[in-house]
Chains A and B, each alone.
Chain A
């Protein structure tokens, strides 16, 4: 099926803490897992993505981990800063339509408090 569940829906952390957002999916053929960040009043932007031939990918303070067996992938943000406050969406290509469309999770609103 074409379903991706994202948790939590809201996350509040203190500056400097870590934040983890998790997405689970049902299509075992999925092999591309992007994360998008949408700041208030702005457009979504890709921040990191992972393909299924690797289990983890890092880019400075952000990382994505993938567990294909359990069908979940997670976004990790370390040493959070106020500018990390935004809505984060996971996504994956949907099998319907020949994997031409991305299905987005419901989003996680992250608030980083100074």
Chain B
């Protein structure tokens, strides 16, 4: 157990819908990262927050947005869902930036039908 929690574990929804994925980082970690992993694919970086502020962005679609709240938990919002958005979404946390070990949550598997 990494100490990072993600909810829900599974999510099945229809095209055009909007979903929210939630992540709670390890106690003491200030950074939260979001990654997308499609079937048999690598880890695609989406976005990073540090202590409530956005610090780095990857190739995140405009239909996706995220935020980190004062209690440091983070939410990833996916809207106007398409079939191609079906993937495993991981959240990771670390003490600081990318030079620190990242602890991954168990992931949320999103299926868009």
* List of A residues within 8 angstroms of B55 by Cβ: 97-98, 100-101
Q: Which of B6-61 contact A (CB under 8 A)?
A: 31, 33, 42-43, 45, 48, 50, 55-58
Number of interface residues of A (CB under 8 A): 22
Whether A101 contacts B56 by the Cβ 8 Å rule is yes
A44-B43, A107-B42 known; A99 and B104 CB under 8 Å?
Answer: no
Looking at chain B, what size class is its interface with the partner chain? 20 to 34
Greatest chain B CB density within 10 A among A34, A101, A102 is at A102
Greatest chain A CB density within 10 A among B58, B99, B101, B107 is at B99
* List of B residues within 8 angstroms of A101 by Cβ: 33, 45, 48, 55-56, 58, 98
User: When each residue 60-86 of chain A gets 1 if its CB lies under 8 Å from chain B and 0 otherwise, what string results?
Assistant: 000000000000000000000000000
* List of B residues within 8 angstroms of A45 by Cβ: 2, 104
A54 on the B face (CB < 8 A)? no
Whether B99 contacts A99 by the Cβ 8 Å rule is yes
User: When each residue 81-114 of chain A gets 1 if its CB lies under 8 Å from chain B and 0 otherwise, what string results?
Assistant: 0000000010001101111111111110000000
Dominant secondary structure of chain A at its interface with chain B: loop
A44-B90, A44-B104, A45-B104 known; A99 and B98 CB under 8 Å?
Answer: yes
Nearest residue, chain B, Cβ from A93: B98
Q: Which of B80-113 contact A (CB under 8 A)?
A: 90, 92, 97-99, 101-102, 104-107
Instruction: Out of A46, A96, A100, A104, name the residue touching B43 (CB < 8 Å).
Output: A104
The 6 closest A-B pairs by CB, nearest first: A97-B56, A93-B98, A100-B56, A43-B104, A101-B56, A104-B43
Chain A to chain B contacts (Cβ below 8 Å), 21 pairs: A32-B99, A44-B104, A45-B2, A46-B101, A46-B102, A49-B101, A93-B99, A94-B56, A94-B98, A97-B55, A97-B57, A98-B55, A99-B98, A100-B31, A101-B33, A101-B48, A102-B33, A102-B98, A103-B45, A105-B42, A106-B42
